[in-house]
Amino acid sequence: MPTLILLRHGRSTANTTGVLAGRTPGVGLDERGLAQAAALPGRLGDLPLALAVSSPLQRCNETLAPLLEARPGLALHTDDRLNECDYGDWSGRKLAELTDEPVWETVQQHPSAAAFPGGESLRAMATRAAEAVREWNERVEREHGPDAVYAVCSHGDVIKSLVADALGLHLDLFQRISVDPCSVTAIRYTRLRPFLLRLGETGDLAGLAPRENSADGKAKAQAPQGDATVGGGAGAP
């Protein structure tokens, strides 16, 4: 079966301002995100890609644009099942405000039971994404052979759920996984089990440094220390 290259979109204007964008239209890449996208063709090198599949959102399309320009024959498909989680009433709000919402603790500690007000559940998001990947695996193998490699550009929580699925982890453990903007995650699927080959690869270790503190002594973070940032976060500064 094929090898899947999962690309999280580059850093967005919402990531920069600490806003949970969700499916809010018009959210594109910021300056750093555009630079990350421009570097993507070089990072992927000569890796043969049979095709690319994208979430329909602008920030994913902008991330893939340099890769498509560098590879004129690469076919691009859009799949709504790989869209960002529908965060409903949380969409467009500051992450710092959302930590006070009662649902926040459920999202952190028991995500399989978490449903966003006016939106979808994390369980539904994970299910649709896993179904999409399995169908694309079958199609890619049928059209390009069992050793084919293809790329999917999606979002932080979607990619984390796909990694958890590949590892056989319950969704309640997926918040222990982190994928930065424009990171590369690779999963090789076989008849009996998937293998996680790369996780959140960016080539940038700056994000491992201690967090910088603000003047009042509080760490500059989009979520409290120890909590996962809903939506995936902004990555290294």
Q: Does residue 108 form part of some domain? A: yes
pLDDT(218) > 60:
no
Q: Does residue 230 form part of some domain? A: no
Q: Does residue 93 form part of some domain? A: yes
**215 vs 5, more confident:** 5
pLDDT tens digits, one per residue of 74-127: 999 999 999 999 999 999 999 999 999 999 999 999 999 999 999 999 999 999
Average pLDDT, whole number, for the chain? 91
Q: Does residue 235 form part of some domain? A: no
How many domains, in total, are found in the chain?
A: 1
Q: Does residue 84 form part of some domain? A: yes
Query: Which pLDDT does position 224 carry in this prediction?
Result: 62
Q: Does residue 77 form part of some domain? A: yes
Q: Where does the chain have alpha helices with state H?
A: 13-17, 31-44, 58-70, 95-98, 102-109, 122-144, 156-167
Q: Does residue 162 form part of some domain? A: yes
Range of the domain at 54: 3-208
Average pLDDT over residues 131-142: 98
pLDDT tens digits, one per residue of 19-30: 999 999 999 999
CA distance linking residue 5 with residue 186, whole number of Å: 5
CATH number, domain with residue 186:
3.40.50.1240
pLDDT(8) > 70:
yes
Q: Does residue 107 form part of some domain? A: yes
Q: How confident is residue 223, by pLDDT bands cut at 50, 70 and 90?
A: low
